[in-house]
Amino acid sequence: MRILVTGATGVVGTEIAARFGAVPHTRVARRAQDTSVTCWGMGAEPPSAALSGHWDVIVHAAADTRWTLTRDEAVAANIGPLRAVLALAERDTHLVHLSTAYVGGTRAPADLRGAEFDGYRNGYEWSKAVCEDIARGEHRGPLTIVRPPLIVGRRGTGAISRFSGPYTLLQALVSGLAAVVVGDPAGYAEISPVDEVADAVVRAALSAPPGSPRTEVIAGGAGSLRLGELLDVICDTLDECRARHGQPPVERPPVVPSETWDRFFLPLAERYLSPFQHRAVQLLAMFQSYTSMGEPFVPTRTVRDPGAVMAAAVRHWAARRPRLALARPTPWTLLTS
């Protein structure tokens, strides 16, 4: 069985590549130089001769997941590479495409640039929706799409190859930048441990190819955390870590409903906060759509006990970033002139 994995240096790709290490004749393509892999600038250059020939399975995990991508950047980073990967696939190649659960196109407030991305919340989400359409429309072979929600560290240990996405909120809490959290306290906040996402991808790749396109959704569903519960888990776990080192607890920020924030607080923030504080506000505001969903996802693979998963992720982050985790929050100040 000949398997190609793209994006093997990414958060999920690292876990996927490690699992395929025991599978004979597996070749891993990624963007970083390494003597054990084949480098390929997907979409920017033609594939090397080492990537030619028939592939039984292509696992496409390469993506730029930044929420700040412009439309052009999203096309170059995510849509172009998918088309390059499809050029390597044949009619009987099973394509396992890693997408995101947030491809539903929920309308975003104007400040989250929903209009720019056809109603999607950001360039990453928009580009992954376009990629799903391309994969269904242009790949003539078997197709499995795997849709995870926000991804945190492994279940039990919290280990992860890189801190990004939801980990921004942890740093904001301990630094004092998260003066408030914007969203609905009762809204659903879906997370998944990275190892369970990788397991779903690998199981799909090693299983019999589906006769028609298949979509796997990894989520907690009705058992997922609410935003208020997520904040409780994060703050309680941070406080446990800080107490062991004699540091005071972090102050749990108030939750401000999105409509109230957009109508009243955001105009004041633009007027009275420093440029650095305003950028922090804009970054944290991007979380509101992801942690305030009115309905949970309907999973095909259920994430059990997401509270324990989040707690493990926080403990691992605190152990690896002790200076940040034990920092004394700096209160916000307003501009006086």
* CB distance 334 to 273 below 8 Å: yes
pLDDT, tens digit, 9 for 90 and up, residues 103-158? 875 544 444 445 678 878 788 999 999 999 999 999 999 999 999 999 999 999 99
On whether both 141 and 274 belong to a single domain, the answer is no
On whether both 268 and 127 belong to a single domain, the answer is no
pLDDT, tens digit, 9 for 90 and up, residues 286-320? 777 787 788 999 999 999 999 999 999 999 999 99
β-bridge partners, 219: 302
Q: How far apart are CA 120 and CA 102, in angstroms?
A: 9
Residue with more model confidence, 5 or 194: 194
219 in a structural domain: no
Q: How far apart are CA 81 and CA 30, in angstroms?
A: 11
300 in a structural domain: no
On whether both 16 and 111 belong to a single domain, the answer is yes
Run of H or E residues at 205: helix 194-206
Under the banding of pLDDT at 50, 70 and 90, the label for residue 331 is low
In percent, the amount of the chain with pLDDT more than 70 equals: 85
Which residue in the block uniquely carries the two structure tokens 């980073």? 77
On whether both 256 and 316 belong to a single domain, the answer is yes
Determine the pLDDT at residue 220.
96
On whether both 142 and 267 belong to a single domain, the answer is no
133 in a structural domain: yes
pLDDT at 11 exceeding the cut of 60:
yes
Record the tokens describing residue 201, joined without a space: 């991808």
On whether both 52 and 104 belong to a single domain, the answer is yes
On whether both 23 and 168 belong to a single domain, the answer is no
Run of H or E residues at 178: none
Question: Is residue 276 exposed (0-12), middle (13-18) or buried (19+ Cβ within 10 Å)?
Answer: exposed
On whether both 309 and 180 belong to a single domain, the answer is yes
On whether both 109 and 178 belong to a single domain, the answer is no
Residue-number span of the structural domain to which 235 is assigned: 156-189+224-294+305-337
53 in a structural domain: yes
199 in a structural domain: no
272 in a structural domain: yes
Counting the structural domains of the chain, the total is 2
Residue with more model confidence, 209 or 263: 209
Record the tokens describing residue 35, joined without a space: 């003597």
196 in a structural domain: no
Conformation bin of residue 48: beta by default, left when phi > 0, alpha when psi is -120 to 50: beta
Strands 188-189 and 255-256: unpaired
The listed range with the strongest mean pLDDT (11-20, 42-51, 238-247, 325-334) is 238-247
On whether both 178 and 317 belong to a single domain, the answer is yes
pLDDT at 170 exceeding the cut of 50:
yes
207 in a structural domain: no
On whether both 8 and 132 belong to a single domain, the answer is yes
On whether both 73 and 123 belong to a single domain, the answer is yes
State pTM to two decimals.
Answer: 0.88
pLDDT at 284 exceeding the cut of 50:
yes
Once rounded to an integer, what is the mean pLDDT over residues 154-170? Answer: 92
Under the banding of pLDDT at 50, 70 and 90, the label for residue 337 is very low
